[in-house]
Copies of this chain bind each other. A is one copy, B any other.
Amino acid sequence: MSKDLPLFYVPELNSERFQYLVGDEATHGIRVLRLEVDDEILITDGRGRMSSGVIASKSKRSLDFELLEDLEPEHKEPGFHLAIAPTKNMDRLEFCVEKCIEIGLGKLSLVICQNSERRQVRVDRLQKIAISAMKQSRAAFLPDISEPLPISDFISHERSEDLFIAHCRTGEREFLKSNSSPACLLIGPEGDFTESEIEEAVANGAKPVHLGPKRLRTETAAIVGCTLMNL
């Protein structure tokens, strides 16, 4: 797969010979990349499919492409599921999401905790960042991002084989180690999880973990956790 061809996200990618780019993807191709007929492109559906194509026609607002062939994806589907309490400062959360997707993120959940200062998140903004990060890292997997959920609801519904809760309170905690099965890591807000949140998570099968000797900010903990889980 050529590293240099521009990559587009087409969630509705099907098997038709002629298909089109829409919305932001078309605008980017037309205005920023200034693509012309016969230019080669790559297309992903964000669910593991990566295909080559060529621009077939062009108007002011749309770009049609001819689908050529399906390519072998370079990366496997990331198994890591991050469940994070949104940071007070949105920039920090956005940066963290971008970094985790570059490193390898299969799913993102947003959880609201007792100490959360931020309880609302514009998920559509995070989705745009996710698409951009997926394209930047030439990957074919776009993580699902779910609407914020109270932590109790999240914990009682989460069915990952391995659920880890990273916290800085006292009590026995193991250093987070990567494992081959898909796993979910819970990262708390500024001010950490409360004792009762940790107890509830543990009662639901979560294993308490730490991420090293230093106290990390929420977004740093998420990036470090993502790195460790992708080892």
What is A's interface to B at a CB cutoff of 8 Å? 3, 74-75, 95, 99, 102-104, 136-139, 212-217, 219-220, 223-224, 227-228, 230
**Does B104 lie within 8 Å of A214, measured CB to CB?**
yes
Write the nearest CB–CB distance from A107 to chain B, whole angstroms: 17
Copies of chain A in the complex: 2
* A219: B residues at CB distance < 8 A: 99
* Interface of A (DSSP majority class): loop
A99 to B224, CA, bound (A): 9
**Does A215 lie within 8 Å of B95, measured CB to CB?**
no
* A139: B residues at CB distance < 8 A: 214
Checking B137, B216, B217, B224 against A214 with a beta-carbon cut-off of 8 angstroms, the contacting residue is: B137
Checking B74, B103, B215 against A137 with a beta-carbon cut-off of 8 angstroms, the contacting residue is: B215
**Does B214 lie within 8 Å of A103, measured CB to CB?**
yes
Write the nearest CB–CB distance from A56 to chain B, whole angstroms: 29
Given contact pairs A95-B95, A228-B227, A75 touches B220 in the complex (Cβ within 8 A): no
Write the nearest CB–CB distance from A1 to chain B, whole angstroms: 11
A213 to B141, CA, bound (A): 14
A136 to B221, CA, bound (A): 14
**16 residue pairs bridging A and B, Cβ less than 8 Å apart:** A74-B213, A75-B213, A99-B220, A99-B223, A102-B214, A102-B216, A102-B217, A102-B220, A103-B212, A103-B220, A104-B212, A136-B217, A137-B216, A212-B230, A223-B227, A227-B228
